[in-house]
Structure 1
C-alpha cells in the first residue's frame, strides 16, 4: 500500500507550499522578490527617483497566492504622482505619493454616530501612536499620516504604513464590537461568510467545548489545575485559530488567553474558573449572535513582529519538559493536550517564517482531522484506525521547506525522521525536528 501511495504521489504531485487559510497571520505567501524589490527601492531613493522608489517598495508588499478574491494592494502610477490602496481587515488605506511627500488616510466612522466616549478614546490613542494621527474632516473620523520624501528610505515608509493599517483595522473592529457598526465607513471590501460554513463552525465549537468539559470530569475536583489550564487554553486557541472570530468575540477570547498569562496575584484555580465561565458563555451564545462575529477580508501587513527561531525553540523545550513531568507522574491524559497546545500557542503568539507556519499548521491538521475533513481537506490522520497518511505528511513537510532551502542552507527535509507509532510519538519527534530548524541566511 505504501509503495502504491508513493507511486501515486510521483505521478500526481501536489502543488507546492500554500499559506494556511487560518489564524491571524496573512493568508498568502510573501513576495518571492521581496528582498530584491526592497533593495531596488533603496537604490532609487538614493538616486532621487522618488516615484520609482515607492513603486518598488509597494510592489515588495504584494503577496503571492492570496485566497482573497480581489487585490489586497493596488498601485496606479501616473506621470507626477502614484496612488495606492491597501486592505487591512476592516480598514481601507488610500494614499498618494508625489515627489515631495506621501499622504495616506483611512476613513474610520461617521462622527455623528459616535458616542462622546469613543471620540475621547481617539484623543487618548493619539498619544500612543508614533506616525499617524486621528482627525475629523467633513463629518468623518480619519486616521492619517504624512511623510516628507526629502530623506525617505524603505524603512521610513514601512513602519508608518504598517502602523496606520494595523490601527485603523483595530479601531474599526473595536467600534463594530462595542458600538454601532453602521457608523463605520469604507466597508464595501468586507466579504460575508457563507451561512452553511458559519453553521458548521458553530457546531464544531459546541462539540469541542462539550468534549473538553467531559474530558475533565473527575479531574476538576482534584489537584489538577495544570491539566485544566492546558485543556481550556488549547480549546480557546483552537477556536481562535480555526474559526477566526472577529469583533467582540475575538476581543473576549484574546482577553481571556492573555489574562491567564498576566503576572498577577490571581490563583491558577481562579484563572481556570474565569476560563470555564467564558466557555459557558460561548456555549450559551445563540447561533444568530455567533454569525454576526465573522467576516472575510484581505491583509497587507502581519499583526506579528517576526520572532527569532531561538524563542520558538526555547518555548518548545519548556513545553516538552512539562510533557516529561506529566509522563513521570502518570498523568497521561494531559500529554496529548500539551502537544496540541504547543503548535496552537506558537501560531497565536509569534510572527513565524512561512515555512514554520505551514509546518505547525500541519500539526494542527493532524490533531483536528475531523474539522479539516469537513472543510474538504484530505485527512492526514484517521482517529478511528489511528493510521497516519505518511506519504501526504512527508509531501507537506517537503513543500513547506524546499522553497526556502536556497536561502537558508541549514534547512533540510526532516520527513524521514518522524515517528508514526502513535500521536504522542509523532508529536515528540515532530517538535524535536522543528526545534532544530536552522534559519541562518546564506
Structure 2
C-alpha cells in the first residue's frame, strides 16, 4: 500500500505553496511500507517501526528533509516528527507506543482555553489532552500487540494535524498565549514577505475593480467566483499561517456549509473579511508566516472521478457565462477550478503538479517576483511554449512507473490565447488515465 496520495507537489523554485508537503517520498516508499507490515506480523516491533518511519520521510532533490528523526537501542525506538508548529516526541517499546506534543504552559491557560480543550477531547478518535506540572500536552498511546502500519499511521496523523492546528488556534484566539516547543520554526525572508504583501494588495485592488465593473443585475454568481478565487489564491500562493489562515479557513467553511444563508450575505461577509486583510499593515501581515517541515497532509484522499465531476460541472457554469457574454469572468473561473481542487481534493501528486504548473502559467507576475521560473510573459502575452511542454513531459515521466497509461499532452494544448490555453488544459486533464500499474 502507498501513502503517496497524502502528499503534495514540489514547486520548481523550492518555495512552499499550498498546505502540507512540498516534497517527495522515498522512491521505495511502498517497499518500505510492506517491510514494516512484514515485521509487525513477525512481532519484530522495533524493526517494523524503523521501516514504517522510513516510508514517511520526505525528500527534496533526493536529500532527506529530516521531517522524521529516530534512534533505537535493543529495547526502545525513540522518534521525533515535525508537522508545522508541532514537534512530536515519542517512543516505542515492544509493548506500546507513546507520543506527545507540548502545547502551552499550564499556568497560562485561561478558562476559555480550558473549555476549548475539553470540547476538543470529545472530537478526537485516538488522542487526548492531558497536563503535567508545567505543560498542557496532546498525547497518544497505542498497544503494539496487534499493530500494523495502518493502525499507527492514522493515530499519528491525527496527533500531528490537530496539534499543529490547535497551536495556531490557541495563538490566534486566546490573546497573549505563548506556544511551547517551537524552536524548529524558521522565519520567512523579508524580501519574500514584501512580495506577498504587495501582491495581496494588488489582487484586492484587481478584485475591487472587477466588482465595480460587473453588470448591476445577474452578477451574484460572478461576485462569488471573484471573492472565493481570491481567498483560495491567498491560501495556495501566499500561504499565510496563524490568524490569517484561521480566519480565511473559517470564511471558506462558512460559505460552503451554511446552506440557509443567502448568497448575497455570504458574499458580503467575504467582502468584509477582505477589507480587514486590506487594512493589515506590513508588521501585522508578516507575523502570520513561518517555515517548517511537514509529514502528514491535511487533505483526505479523493478519487479522480470526484475531480473530473467538479471540472465538468464548473465548465458548464463557465459556458453559461460565455454564452451570455460575461467574458470578463472566464479567466477567474479557470483559476478557481485549479485552486478549489488543490484546496479540497486529496489528489495524486501528478495531478497536483500539473495543477501547480497551470497556476504558475496564469500567475507569472507573482512567480517572477518570487524569482521562480515563469512560462508566460504578461507584457507580450507570450507563452513559453517549449518550456510548458517540457515541464508536462517531466511530470509525466516522474510518475510513469506508477501510471503506465499516463501520456504527456503538451503538444495538444492550444496556445492561441490564455482562455484557449486554459480550456484545452482542463479538457485534457479530465481525460488522463491514472489507473495504477
Shorter-chain TM-score above 0.5: yes
String of CA shifts for 1:54-110, please: whole Å, max 9, x gaps.
Answer: 100010000121799962110112222111101000000011111111111110110
Cross-structure match for 1:213: 208
**Could you tell me how far apart the structure 2 residues matched to 1:218 and 1:413 are?**
39
Give the aligned partner of residue 350 of structure 2.
Answer: 355
Cα distance in 2 between the residues matched to 1:141 and 1:437: 48
Aligned partner of residue 261 in structure 1, secondary structure: helix
Hey, what does 2:292 align to over in structure 1?
297
Q: Is the 8 A contact 1:68 1:298 kept in 2?
A: no
2:295 and 2:208 map into 1 onto residues whose CA distance is: 38
- 1:91 and 2:86 are equivalent in the alignment: yes
Cα deviation for residue 151 of structure 1 reads 0.7
Give the gaps of 5 or more residues in structure 1.
Answer: 1-14
RMSD: 1.9
C-alpha distance in 1 between matches for 2:173 and 2:64: 29
Contact 1:73 1:86 in 2 (8 A): yes
On the 8 A contact 2:11/2:356 being kept in 1, the answer is no
Distance 1:438 1:30 in 2: 22
Out of 130, 142, 145, which is 1:147 matched to? 142
- Residue pairs, 1:312-391, within 5 angstroms: 312-391=307-386
1:258 CA drift (Å): 2.1
Given that 2:58 and 2:64 are in contact with CA atoms closer than 8 Å, whether structure 1 keeps it comes out as no
Q: Distance in 1 between matches of 2:336 and 2:184?
A: 34
Partner of 1:78: 73
**Counterparts of 1:20 and 1:35, CA distance in 2:** 27
Q: Does 2:25 align with 1:25? A: no
Aligned to 1:434: 429
Q: In structure 1, what is the Cα distance between the partners aligned to 2:322 and 2:91? A: 60
Q: Which residue of 1 aligns with 2:32?
A: 37
Match for residue 198 of structure 1 among 190, 193, 196: 193
Q: How much does 1:181 deviate?
A: 5.4
* Residues 32-181 of structure 1: pairs in structure 2 closer than 5 A: 32-65=27-60, 71-180=66-175
Q: Deviations over 1:190-245 (max 9, x none)?
A: 11111222122111100110011112213263320111111111111111111111
Question: Where do residues 250-261 of structure 1 align in structure 2 (5 Å cutoff)?
Answer: 250-261=245-256
| Aligned ranges 1:419-430 → 2 under 5 Å | 419-430=414-425
Give the paired residue count: 428
CA contact (8 A) 1:88 1:169 kept: yes
Residue 12 (structure 1) aligns with:
none
Deviations 1:293-328 (A, max 9, x none): 111111100011111100001000111111111111
Aligned-residue offset at 1:286: 1.5
Aligned to 1:4: none
Give 1:263 shift.
Answer: 4.2
Q: Distance in 2 between matches of 1:317 and 1:223?
A: 22
> 1:119 is paired with a residue of what secondary structure?
helix
Equivalent position SS for 1:217: helix
Query: Could you say what secondary structure the match of 1:193 adopts?
Result: coil
Rounded to whole Å, the distance in 1 between the matches of 2:63 and 2:355 is 22
User: What SS class does the counterpart of residue 25 from structure 2 fall into?
Assistant: coil
Does 2:263 correspond to 1:268?
yes
1:20, distance to aligned residue in structure 2 (A): 6.7
Alignment partner of 2:70: what SS? strand
The answer to whether the 8 Å contact 1:175/1:181 transfers is no
